[in-house]
Amino acid sequence: MAFSMHTKLYPANHKTVFVLDHTPYFGISCESPIEFEFLKARTPGFIPMTPISKSLWTSSVESAIEYCRIVWDLFPQGKLVRFIASDTVAHILNTWNQTQQNLTHVMNGMSLIGVPPPPPPLRSVNTPLDYTVLHGLRAAIEALSEVTDIQQEKIQSGVDGQKILNRGRVICITSARDNDSMKRLEDIFLSVLTQQNKVSSTESYRLLTIDHCHLVIINTFPINIESQVNNHPPKNLSPILTTEVHSIKAPQIPNKLSSLILDHYDLASTTVTGIPMKEEQNASSSANYDVEIFHASSAHTAILKGNASDSAAIRTIKEGLEYETTTLKWCTPRGVTGTELQNCTATFRITPVDVNSRPSLCLINFLLNGRAVMLEMPRKSGGKITSHLLAAHGGEIFIHTLCTARSVLEDPPSISEGCGGRVTDYRITDFGLLIKQNTLLPIKNKNPEDGVLPIQKIKTRLNRLTRYWPLTISSTLIFNLKQYFDPLPSLITKDRISDDEVFQCKKVIYNLISLESKMEPLHPLNTGLRVKGQKREEQYKAMWNELEMLLKNNLHSENHRSVYTCLLECHKFDFEDDKIAEKVELDEALNQLDNIGPGKPEPGDQQRASVIRATTDSPMSPPPLTTTAPPSSRAAPRSAPGGIYSTQRTLFDIFAQAQNNVKPKMEFVGRLNSEGNVAKLYPNLKGDDRGPREQMEVE
């Protein structure tokens, strides 16, 4: 059958109706007794039981149910099947509604209908009841003209009233006397179909005209009967009706439907061969088994169309069946699979053909337990290639078609060879943390009150979390000083922060102030990576600047603002201090705009700073990068005593000053005794004046 664009867009398999003959004739036995091996080995006194055989009805029901099992396993949605049993009336077992599209519903309906009624007595006085499959066929045509949910949706969303094509298929399992009665059946079907389309066109608000119907008639009979009905391949009885007839013995219906289903749903069969399995009776030995599965035929496009000789070698027609199966070899998984993304060009659901056989169950359980199986295909040229992967996801088993072809990405460059490839200090661990914090999970509520999709929410969140996010370790200080800043960075990037969290943030700021006041050097966590220009004041200055940047970029709410203000308040104090000191110069004014204006350091600090600098920094240390003002402007303060290393006003300056206001600090004795306000270090090393040493203590 051709698959044109139309058949692809408006497939006949969207709507299928099974019409099952429920007339008294179908109550007869198939005459195909079931053998019970386990009863044979009984003692001689055993009275043989009456042979059990399925009825024509049982055979047709189980075949139709099996057809549905495969369809619904492979296509959980959008491929609808309805059941209609026909005797004196049509019994409709389910609707197009998705809730009625499952085996349990259909099976329950079947049990209510029960076995076909007994044949009417031969000399019945009453007018004989009209037992015929035609009731069912008529109902089937009506069913096809009903709109399914998906069709309804498409009609409503369709642009410019674009018409959808309503195509469907009717599979009728019945029994006709001869070719003539079969021909009559087809003709009646066509006339009913035409009639129904007339009705539909007048009631188009609720019915769809049937643009095409594919009628598949399965004529069946017990095995001891020769049928007078011949097969005929699909023929177009009219532009809107294609019919075909298959005349087969009842036990063969399942096989017939198996080969038809491949056509109807564009499926293919794969036989997984060489599955090692323990013997049922003898657990110590194992034998190799085969399991046949069905799946969409596209899973094989690449391997079957690729190399003709390779594909010919793996395609065989299974004994007793009419279709080809592709044999692929089980490849015992090594180690843990599924931990890497395979280059997979297609995934489709699968279902085993013989769902309850031991080998099938064995393979299924293996997969459902979370293990994956690679399938190999041999190559004519020698060797073999891993062509597919079988794996279960969420209780459903899929076949993944792996890319077996040549890749256009041959010999790609490594990422380290490209832009940014030589940078070695990316904040990978920190980004890893960001990744973990933004791991996606399925959200159950499909109707968010605010109308914002969860995926949009997380994009907004990522935006917020990355407002200030330096890429490398050397471009940041505060993120290397986690022990001082936590939990501030993680709190400040939240969209809302509680008062308590505001307090925690402020505490971090206060703590830093106190650390600075104690002149504690900040120890970056990433030791070995020396941040350049780390004189202590500069370190603090860079830290404050960066903190200001972080906070300024994260003003998501009033509370965020209050944290920022907490920081700024200190800066404001800073400006005033500068004014009092009447040291405001042009560049300083500019700096104030950035809230990082340099101030005149408190004398005691200058003293101590210079002392520390003399001992820790080499004269070759580069100038601090964060010094925003041009050096020339620093000339004046630098020339001032102790002003060489003057820094910008920091929180500490303010803090310290505030403390001084409360309680004036005692001047360093060494300096009091010094010349030019520069204290000699360890004067006792040189001299013998031990007096001042006793008072040399840090306040």
Partner 1 sequence: MAFSSLYEEKCPFTRDYNLIKGELKNIDDYDKTCIETALHGVNQMVLSEWGNNTACQIILVTDGSTGVGPMSLKESLATANQRSAKIPFPVPFSFPAKLHIICLTTASDPCFIKSKPLYQRLIDMTGYDGTISVQDTFSNEASVTSMFQKLAEEIYSTFKGTLKCGNLESKIILSPAPVPYTKVTDFDSQTYNLWDVLDVCGFVSVGDVGSPMAISRHLILPATSSSNKTEHVVKNEVDITDDDVMDDSKTPSFCVLLHGALRVENMAALVTVGENWFGFIYSWADSKKKSNLMLTILSPGSDAVPWLGDLNYLGSSDSFSSDQVGSFPVRPTEKRSYSQNGVVWIRQAGLQSDIQKILRHARKLPEKTQQFYKELNRLRKAAISLGFLDLLNGLAYIFEQECMQLPGTAHPDCALQLQHAADVLRKTQNRDIKYVIIPLQTNYTSS
Residues numbered 461-480 forming contacts with partner 1, rule: CB under 8 A:
461-472, 474-477
Residue 612: HSE in the Cβ half-sphere, 13 Å Cα cutoff: 16
Angle, nearest 10°, between helix axes 536-552 and 558-580?
140
Residue 103: CB minimum distance to partner 1, A: 7
Question: What's the min distance (Å) between Cβ of 259 and partner 1?
Answer: 13
By the rule CB under 8 A, 159 interacts with partner 1: no
Stretch that binds partner 1, among 40-48, 139-147, 325-333, 644-652 (CB under 8 A): 40-48
Q: How many residues belong to the chain?
A: 699
Which residues ranging from 575 to 614 are in contact with partner 1 (CB under 8 A)? none
C-beta closer to partner 1: residue 379 or 583 = 379
Contact code string over 51-70 relative to partner 1, x by CB under 8 A: -xxxx-xx--xxx-xx--x-
Out of 122, 159, 283, 455, which residue is the one contacting partner 1 (CB under 8 A)? 455
Q: Which amino acid is at 460?
A: T
The residue from 360, 559, 592, 648 that contacts partner 1 (CB under 8 A) is 360
19 touches partner 1 by CB under 8 A: no
Nearer to partner 1, 37 or 160 (CB): 37
Instruction: Considering only residues 76 through 135, tell me which ones interact with partner 1, judged by CB under 8 A.
Output: 76, 78, 102-103, 107-108, 110-111, 114-116
Binding mask 416-435 vs partner 1 (x if CB under 8 A, - otherwise)?
A: xxxxxxxx--xxxx-xx-xx
Q: Does 496 bind partner 1 (CB under 8 A)?
A: no
Q: How many residues bind partner 1 (CB under 8 A)?
A: 164
Q: Are 317 and 324 in contact (CB under 8 A)?
A: yes
* 88 vs 301, beta carbon nearer partner 1: 301
Least separation in angstroms between residue 53's CB and partner 1 is 7
Nearest to 626 by CA among 600, 591, 576: 591
**Shortest Å, Cβ 477 to partner 1:** 7
Stretch that binds partner 1, among 207-215, 236-244, 373-381, 391-399 (CB under 8 A): 391-399
Q: Which amino acid is at 81?
A: V
Are 46 and 64 contacting, i.e. CB atoms less than 8 angstroms apart? no
Q: Which is nearer to partner 1, 177 or 459 (CB)?
A: 459
Region 615-674 residues binding partner 1, contact defined as CB under 8 A: 625-626
- Bridge partners of residue 388, in order along the sequence: 375, 401
- Pick the closest to residue 172 from 260, 304, 75 (CA basis): 260
- Residue selected from 179, 342, 565, 659 as contacting partner 1 according to rule CB under 8 A: 342
The answer to whether residue 40 forms part of the interface with partner 1 (CB under 8 A) is no
Give SS3 for 388.
strand
Site membership for partner 1, residue 694 (CB under 8 A): no
Site for partner 1 in 530-559 (CB under 8 A): 531-533, 542, 545-546, 549, 553
Query: In the set 201, 438, 511, 673, which binds partner 1 (CB under 8 A)?
Result: 438
490, burial (CB in 10 Å: exposed 0-12, middle 13-18, buried 19+)? middle
Name residues contacting partner 1, limited to 162-191 (CB under 8 A).
164
Nearer to partner 1, 387 or 607 (CB): 387
For tokens 């307090």, what's the residue?
Answer: 503
Residue selected from 389, 502, 513, 567 as contacting partner 1 according to rule CB under 8 A: 389
Nearer to partner 1, 414 or 632 (CB): 414
Q: DSSP letter string over 496-534?
A: S--HHHHHHHHHHHHHHHHHHHTTPPP--SSTT-PPTT-
Do 624 and 630 form a contact (C-beta atoms < 8 A)? no
Among 9, 199, 525, 672, binds partner 1 (CB under 8 A): 9
Interatomic CA distance for residues 679 and 625, integer angstroms: 29
Contact 571, 513 (CB under 8 A): no
Give, for 311, the enclosing helix (H) or strand (E): helix 308-314
Question: Taking Cα atoms as reference points, which of 254, 12, 550, 335 lies closest to residue 2?
Answer: 12
Between 172 and 391, CB nearer to partner 1: 391
Coil, helix or strand at residue 246: strand
CA pair distance 572, 263, nearest whole angstrom:
80
306 binds partner 1 (CB under 8 A): yes
Interface mask toward partner 1 for 20-39; x: CB under 8 A: ---------x----xxxxxx
User: In Å, how far are 86, 139, 228, 229, 240 from 180, measured between CA atoms?
Assistant: 21, 23, 10, 8, 22
Residue type, position 174, single letter: T
- Segment 308 to 337, residues that bind partner 1, using CB under 8 A: 308
Verify cis geometry, omega within 30 degrees of 0, for the bond prior to 352: no
Does position 260 interact with partner 1 (CB under 8 A)? The reply is no
Nearest residue to 316 (alpha-carbon basis) of 347, 348, 296, 290: 290
| Choices 227-235, 299-307, 635-643, 683-691 (CB under 8 A): range interacting with partner 1 | 299-307
> Per CB under 8 A, does 73 bind partner 1?
yes
Distance (Å, whole) CA 66 – CA 542: 73
Query: Residue 478 Cβ, how far from partner 1 at the closest point, in Å?
Result: 9
| CA pseudo-torsion sign 260, 263, 265, 271 | positive
CB of 593 to partner 1, least distance (A): 16
Q: In terms of CB distance, is 73 or 605 closer to partner 1?
A: 73
Cα–Cα distances (Å) from 83 to 78, 130, 141, in that order, read 16, 20, 12
Pair type for strands 344-349 and 324-331: unpaired
